Amino acid sequence: MGETTKTDIVIIGAGAAGMTAAVYAARGGNSAIVLEQNVHGGQIVNTGEVENYPAILSISGVEFAGNLYEQATSHGADIRYEKVTGFDFSGPVKVVETDEGRYECKAVILANGVVKRKLEVPGEEKFQGRGVSYCATCDGGFFRGKRTAVVGGGNTALEDALFLANLCQEVTLIHRRDEFRGDAHNVKAVLARENIRILYDTIPLEVLGDQQVTGLKVQNKKTGEEGELAVDGVFVAVGQIPQNELFRGAVEMDESGFVAAGEDTKTNIPGVFAAGDTRQKLVRQLVTAAADGAVAAVMAGSYIFSL
């Protein structure tokens, strides 16, 4: 175990939520250390182009992440690339342990995000950002007037299909079961749209293309019949995996593993806050992650001031 470092706030995760929290924490007069296991920026680094962030007409995900990193560090945030391995949030002094050291702080912000559940089929990784997307509201605008496919059967898939139907010539909704798991009103709305085609009992086998996606190979589970769909984009909506397993049993979560925290970002533990995709919320977008980070830093600052 390395040496113990003391700071006001430890932020776990250097995605949009975590780095925005670092900016607001530093500007609020609190020292902040951001711990990130992988690369700063979070999921946005996998997005080729961002066009829905306020006041920025267009920017690559990598450039956005780089700009946010520069902004956070210029205000004094300390971003360290270490894996969190343990913690103790029980007392007034919070402890976070990593593979390289030990941190003591007054408040903790969980901003460790989620990973998108993947199809795990050939071509998926190759064409990520070149026709394969995990966010319809982020990338749907690039497929205006084109043909797309949505894979999934829950509310996210249904809502993605409806969103894309307003932009695309045709949307094919691919579901591995014979009925949807989403809310009845979403199912009804999908069934009513003329440009949404539904393939039940169907699974994707391979994403096809050259430089960009040109199609999707699928199979009917009941008949075994295979076929190819001519599509320009494949939107994957088969779930998200919150990165919260380490904190299970201490931090209150819902059945899916998302931290139970409202718009004030407060968890069940005083001094511990949750921001971004890691917490329960209806909209998971770059702008809402940044908003969460700002709120969490302000709430953490208020908590520290009250000690």
For residue 207, list its beta bridge partners.
216
**C-alpha to C-alpha distance for 43 and 238, rounded to whole angstroms:** 16
Q: What residue spans of 29-88 are helical by DSSP H?
A: 61-74
- 118-154 exposure pattern, b = at least 16 Cβ within 10 A, e = fewer: ebebebbeebbeebbbbbbebbbebbeebbbbbbbbb
Is 168 part of the annotated catalytic residue set? no
Q: State the catalytic residue, choosing from 8, 105, 135, 292.
A: 135
Q: Please count the residues of the chain.
A: 307
Three-state DSSP state, 48: coil
Q: State the catalytic residue, choosing from 8, 139, 160, 277.
A: 139
Q: State the catalytic residue, choosing from 138, 160, 232, 277.
A: 138
Contacts of 234 (CB under 8 A, 6+ apart): 127, 131, 132, 133, 148, 149, 151, 204, 207, 213, 216
Report, as residue numbers or ranges, the catalytic residues.
135, 138-139
